Amino acid sequence: MKTVDWKRVAPWTKSASLAVTTFAVALLGTGCNPECVDQFDCRADNGQPPAGQQWVCVDEKCETEPVEQPPTPDSGTPDAGLVDSGTPDAGPVDSGTPDSGPGPADSGTPDAGPVDSGTPDSGPVDPTPDAGTPDAGPVTCENTPHDAKLGTLALQPGFVATETAPLPDGISALGSSPGPTYAFYAVQGGGKDAALYSMGTWPDLQLSTTRLYDVVTPEDRAGSVAVYAGGYLINDGQRVFTGYTTGASGAPGSVSLYDIATPASSSFLSAPKNYSAAAFSNGNTSAVLINGGGLGTMPTGLGIYGLVTSENPLGTVRVANFPEGTVGSGFTAVADNGVAALGYFNGDFVNVIYGVAPSVVAQAITSGTPVELASQSPIVVGSDFDSASSFGAGVVVNRGGYDENFSFVSTDVSRFALSTSSGGDTVNVGARAAVLDYVDQCTTVTMLEPLGSDVLVGVADKNGQRLVRLQVVP
Q: Is the pLDDT of residue 19 over 90?
A: no
With beta carbons less than 8 A apart as the criterion, state whether 131 and 139 touch.
Answer: yes
Confidence class for position 61, pLDDT limits 50, 70, 90: confident
- State which amino acid sits at residue 158: G
129, 215, 266, 273 from 228: Cα distances, Å: 48, 11, 20, 10
Q: Give the pLDDT score at 458.
A: 98
Q: How far is it, in rounded angstroms, from Cα 122 to Cα 359?
A: 75
How far are the Cα atoms of 99, 111, 178 from residue 91, in angstroms, in the given order?
A: 16, 11, 75
**Residue 10 above 50 pLDDT?**
no
Cα 352 to Cα 435: distance, rounded to the nearest angstrom: 19
* Coil vs helix vs strand at 43: helix
Cβ atoms < 10 Å from Cβ of 144: 19
pLDDT of residue 301: 96
Mean per-residue pLDDT, 179-201: 96
Mean pLDDT over all residues of the chain?
84
**What pLDDT is recorded for position 323?**
96
**Residue type at position 269:** L
* pLDDT band, residue 41 (cuts 50/70/90): low
For the chain, the farthest-separated pair of C-alpha atoms sits apart, in whole angstroms, at 110
Q: How confident is the model at residue 22 (pLDDT cuts 50, 70, 90)?
A: very low
Contact 412, 434 (CB under 8 A): yes
List, for residues 192-234, the tens digit of each pLDDT value: 999 999 999 999 999 999 999 999 999 999 999 999 999 999 9
Q: What is the mean pLDDT of residues 125-146?
A: 71
Listed range (69-78, 241-250, 277-286) with the worst mean pLDDT: 69-78
Residue 42: the pLDDT is 73
More confident residue, 84 or 451: 451
pLDDT of residue 76: 44
Rounded mean pLDDT of 28-49?
60
Which of 29-43, 48-62, 97-111, 185-199 is predicted least confidently?
97-111
- For 249, other C-beta atoms within 10 Å of its C-beta total 12
129 pLDDT above the threshold of 60? no
Query: Three-state SS across 298-364?
Result: CCCCCEEEEEECCCCCCEEEEEEECCCCCCEEEEEEECCCCCEEEEEECCCCCEEEEEECHHHHHHH
**pLDDT tens for residues 304-316?**
999 999 999 999 9
The average pLDDT across 429-455 equals: 98
What digits encode the pLDDT tens for the residues 290-302? 999 999 999 999 9
Which of the four pLDDT bands, split at 50, 70 and 90, describes residue 59? confident
pTM of the predicted model, to two decimals? 0.75
pLDDT of residue 29: 36
Q: How far apart (Å, rounded) are the C-alpha atoms in residues 25 and 50?
A: 6
pLDDT, residue 54, reads: 76
What SS3 state is found at 60? coil
Tell me what pLDDT residue 91 has: 46
Cα 58 to Cα 60: distance, rounded to the nearest angstrom: 5
Say if residue 442's pLDDT is above 50: yes
107 Cβ neighbours under 8 A, 6+ residues apart = 87, 115
Q: How confident is the model at residue 336 (pLDDT cuts 50, 70, 90)?
A: very high
Q: Which residue would you say has higher pLDDT here, 228 or 86?
A: 228
In the prediction, which pLDDT does 110 show? 47
Q: Which of 30, 33, 55 is nearest to 42 (CA)?
A: 55
Confidence of residue 44 (pLDDT cuts 50, 70, 90): low
pLDDT value of position 105: 46
> Cβ distance 242 to 228 under 8 Å?
no
Please give the Cα distance from 280 to 371 (Å, whole number): 15
pLDDT confidence tier of residue 62, bands split at 50, 70 and 90: confident
